[in-house]
Amino acid sequence: MPAFNSTSTQVEQVTAFRHVAIIGLGLQGGSIGLAVQEFVPGSSTTGYDLSPENRARAAELGLVHQVCETAADAVRDADLVIFCVPPGAIGEAAAAIRDAIPADALVSDVGSSKQAIAKALRKALPDHLVIPAHPVAGTENSGPNAGFAHLFRNRWCIVTPPEQTDLVKLSALVEFWETLGANVEIMTPEHHDLVLAVTSHLPHLIAYTIVGTASDLEDVTQGEVIKYSAGGFRDFTRIAASDPTMWRDVFLSNKEAVLTMLQRFTEDLTALQRAIRVGDGNALFDHFTRTRAIRRSIIEEGQDDSRPDFGRGDHNGGVGRDS
């Protein structure tokens, strides 16, 4: 679907969220808090994290204006509540604020599996408007120290509203993400989960598998897998260093789409295996030529950088890994 275009002014939309509450102060939550302070100075932010250590560190870093000791305290008087917790924990996290969240507050999130998350949020907060969102931005790092204000700059944020929704609140949420620097796209939750299974979830699963296999072979190779790691393997290890709790929950919450894409990948891998076995160089060359064009298209879309370090030398300005 085409990107959503709001006809309202930025000032009108941003002031709809005078108080943003962030539940979960890791990479995504911390980056939202910092981005709001930099790009939406008229809004106040409160935050909560289940970990006392993360709360203390978030306060030291100033990720939000006020770090609260309970989730309920964080959401009182909030106009927008954003959950930045692993998919498997979102239902419990939402239930914890049920008695404190204002009746007219908009509820959203940043998770990468939309159907399961939307269902959990609606079950926990049945009387509130829930409009899930997924900023496709991230790094391999996690925790409060990983956040930075420009994480969402020129990245896509996919918003997946329910069929019947408040268009004013939807417009406000779109404007919110655009103000933080993101490009916004509207999708159905079902389509989002299928697309992300291809572009994010399956690649992570493959990376975890390859790095795990290499680890199992360390004894066989006498440590030389790590010692002589080439660029390709290093990129896989960067992806495989992602937060294990989050990715465990992603695969379980989006298992149908992941399994569908995994079956297709297995079939394609079998075809390549056969081409190598029988010496079919033409098939290999044609396949590699087609995939090389995909890389060029991603660079042309501005979703990565052609420089040797992938533009990641500048932490704030570099291209982040998807999530």
In a domain, 31, yes or no: yes
State whether 100 and 45 are in the same domain. yes
Residues 42 and 66 in one domain: yes
pLDDT of res. 156? 93
Q: Are residues 173 and 155 in the same domain?
A: yes
Which amino acid, one-letter code, is at 66? Q
Shared domain check, 163 and 20: yes
Confidence band, pLDDT 50/70/90 cuts, at residue 226:
low
Measure CA 261 to chain center.
19
Domain containing 241: what range? Answer: 192-278
Average pLDDT of the chain, as a whole number? 85
- Number of C-alpha atoms within 13 angstroms, CB side, residue 291? 7
Q: What is the pLDDT of residue 234?
A: 74
* Rounded distance between C-alpha atoms, residue 226 and residue 224, angstroms: 5
| Mean pLDDT, residues 55-67 taken together | 97
| Model confidence pTM above 0.85 | no
Instruction: Report the chain's C-alpha Rg in angstroms.
Output: 21
Residue 6: its pLDDT value, please? 39
% of the chain with per-residue pLDDT over 90 = 56
Burial class (CB in 10 A: 0-12, 13-18, 19+), 191: middle
Helix axes 202-216, 255-278, angle to 10 degrees: 60
On whether both 161 and 206 belong to a single domain, the answer is: no
Domain annotation covers residue 284:
no
Tell me if 317 is assigned to some domain.
Answer: no
Predicted confidence (pLDDT) at residue 317 exceeds the cutoff of 50: no
Answer with the one of 128, 156, 187 that is the final residue of a domain: 187
User: Does residue 288 belong to any structural domain of this protein?
Assistant: no
pLDDT over 60 at 20, yes or no: yes
Same domain, 134 and 210: no
Q: Which of 56-65, 165-174, 206-215 has the lowest mean pLDDT?
A: 206-215
Q: Confirm whether 115 is domain-assigned.
A: yes
Report the domain count for the chain. 2
Last residue of a domain, one of 166, 187, 208: 187
pLDDT beyond 50 at 315: no
Nearest to 61 by CA among 91, 29, 101, 14: 29
Q: Output the domain CATH number for residue 236.
A: 1.10.3660.10
Q: How far apart are CA 273 and CA 259, in angstroms?
A: 21
Least confident of 111-115, 194-198, 238-242: 238-242
pLDDT band at 293 (very low <50, low <70, confident <90, very high): confident
Q: Are residues 173 and 59 in the same domain?
A: yes
Residues in CB range of 246: below 8 A, 6 or more apart: 86, 87, 142, 323
Confidence (pLDDT) at 210: 83
Tell me if 150 is assigned to some domain.
Answer: yes
Is 283 among the domain residues?
no
CATH of the domain at 105: 3.40.50.720
What is the Cα–Cα distance from 200 to 258, expressed in whole angstroms? 10
